[in-house]
Chains A and B, each alone.
Chain A
């Protein structure tokens, strides 16, 4: 058996893989938060609840309609995204003239309502969601056995994150979006329908959370608390990365997942807090975050 720093290789790589998977979720969620914050100037506290709704949408599609995993990967984000668009149109858009903190409070209330409703309907013990047949089993990589589904999650998350980055940074749509983030009235003067853009941005950010939820469904059990377990850590990730850069969110998300995985190997007691410790260090050394713009 290979030993690395006195740790058996398979254990180390196994935890690294777990870390990468957590990191994939951190990256997708903090990316959505950053995109929404850029356009709407609110922190979407309901992000965790919408992530959970994505997982539930996949579960419902399978159990009530008989639609399997891969179609759900498209449909669930679409459904939750439309829900997000309705939310933005009816409720959130009323707050743009107020202090940003009200957006945070409103979406916090929203997350309580959503999670409470799901807890009433489905209890909090969690529902199983089967890994699709194609992705069952494991592959021998030589240095470790990798469960196929976990590899798929990392791959899918990377593809989605990088496509989001490419759309925002490399297309003309993204250019308009970035311009509107900098100066909305000016972009509106060029004939762009900024309110519609804001609505669609929220929908897209929410869809991203729901996509992450579907990916998470077979790994964690589908339960009403799965979002709130994640979201606090994701906020720390956002503070560490700073919300200025899309690539920054992706790198910070995956990076912190890996740091967490390594901590699990070398000092398991601290694995729950290591992300917060990193946050403290970043706050002391570089308050605006690793990739944040100067305030």
Chain B
């Protein structure tokens, strides 16, 4: 139904088992951070891995989703599901506007334009009254899901986050393996040829961008719900850089790579938290290492070793 190959099915089952077992072994709040980052990176990978466009501004969609979910939870007291939907819709709306501008150029210019547009969103969030400026939106209640599931319990929240991640993951997988996804890959490989076959490549790129931004917004909104906070860090360009690193380390253009990258990058941040600025140095060094010697990423290397597409 989702177009999994045999090896991918095994990997998927393995991943679901890990998601189910891990909260009994590891700290659920840490795992929720991993899952939110994994969804964000998977959404980002849809653009870079499958359309071949490097967006250096994905924090804008993640951050706006985070702000809107936090705001609607705190001041409108809506249901958690509605708040996350609002987050995703905000990501999609911003994606539509920013994407419309950015896809006018490709390659390096696309990266610079998305970076600059995201910086504009950052300055907007810094000035706009509803974001709370430097303080952000704090003490956001987790509230209830569908009116009766109390999310204040970490384990309950964990299952919801896990469901959101798996849902998003399957959706991305479905998009990649649909006829639409095949066209995207065609554009990645040879855009002029796709154009000459009659595809409106700009429309395809824009739709893929909006989908990617929507899921980034969902990831941001879920993160805001878990931690009860939305801040300027979520829209800052370092978050954009981090999602690039996560995807690159896990494996560009692989289905499971971004999730693996999220696990490694989040663990690193968690355990190196006391190391202060060294985290940046290590992240930068990993970035360089990936580009110079390790371009397939962790999952890509595993896949290449076993000759499987993961």
Contact = CB atoms under 8 A, between A and B. Distances in A.
Interface of A: 37, 42-43, 91, 94-95, 98, 100-102, 104-106, 108-117, 119-120, 232-233, 235-236, 238-239, 269, 272-273, 276-277, 279-280, 283-284, 287-288, 295
Given A102-B295, A277-B120, A108 B241 contact: yes
Contacts of A236: 112, 116, 119
A106 B237 CA distance: 16
A120 B277 CA distance: 6
A236 B65 CA distance: 24
A112 B289 CA distance: 13
18 contacts: A43-B112, A98-B295, A105-B248, A108-B284, A108-B287, A110-B284, A113-B281, A116-B281, A120-B278, A235-B115, A238-B112, A239-B112, A239-B113, A272-B123, A276-B116, A276-B123, A279-B116, A280-B117
Contacts of A106: 287-288, 291-292
Nearest to B110: A101
B167 interface: no
B108 A43 contact: yes
A235 B241 contact: no
Contact of A109 (B117, B127, B291): B291
A69 to B, nearest CB: 29
B117 A276 contact: yes
A273 B124 contact: yes
A283 B295 CA distance: 32
B307 interface: no
Contacts of B248: 105
B179 interface: no
A102 B119 CA distance: 22
Contacts of A238: 112
Contacts of A98: 295
A270 to B, nearest CB: 9
B109 A239 contact: yes
A295 B108 CA distance: 13
B159 to A, nearest CB: 35
B6 interface: no
A117 B120 contact: no
A120 to B, nearest CB: 5
Contacts of B276: 120
9 nearest interchain CB pairs? Answer: A109-B287, A112-B284, A116-B281, A116-B280, A113-B284, A276-B120, A236-B116, A109-B288, A119-B277
A271 to B, nearest CB: 9
A262 B111 CA distance: 29
Interface in B91-129: 101, 104-105, 107-109, 111-113, 115-117, 119-120, 123-124, 126-127
Contact residue range for chain B? 35 or more
Interface in B109-156: 109, 111-113, 115-117, 119-120, 123-124, 126-127
Contacts of B287: 105-106, 108-109, 112
B244 interface: yes
Contact of A101 (B108, B277, B278): B108
Contact of B284 (A104, A116, A272, A288): A116
B286 interface: yes
B119 A232 contact: yes
Nearest to B117: A276
A280 B101 CA distance: 7
Given A119-B277, A119-B280, A232-B237, A102 B291 contact: yes
A109 B123 CA distance: 24
Contacts of A232: 115-116, 119, 237
A148 to B, nearest CB: 32
A91 B277 contact: no
Contacts of B241: 108, 112
B119 A276 contact: yes
Given A105-B290, A112-B280, 19 more contacts: A91-B288, A98-B295, A102-B291, A104-B111, A109-B291, A116-B279, A120-B276, A120-B278, A120-B281, A232-B237, A233-B119, A235-B116, A236-B112, A239-B116, A276-B120, A276-B123, A279-B113, A283-B101, A287-B104
A233 B295 CA distance: 29
Contacts of B285: 109, 113
Contacts of B8: none
Interface string B200-223: 000000000000000000000000
B283 interface: yes
Given A109-B285, A273-B123, A280-B101, A101 B111 contact: yes
A100 B108 CA distance: 7
A162 B35 CA distance: 52
B112 A112 contact: no
Nearest to B285: A113
A95 B281 contact: no
Contact of A94 (B105, B109, B244, B292): B292
B54 interface: yes
B116 A112 contact: no
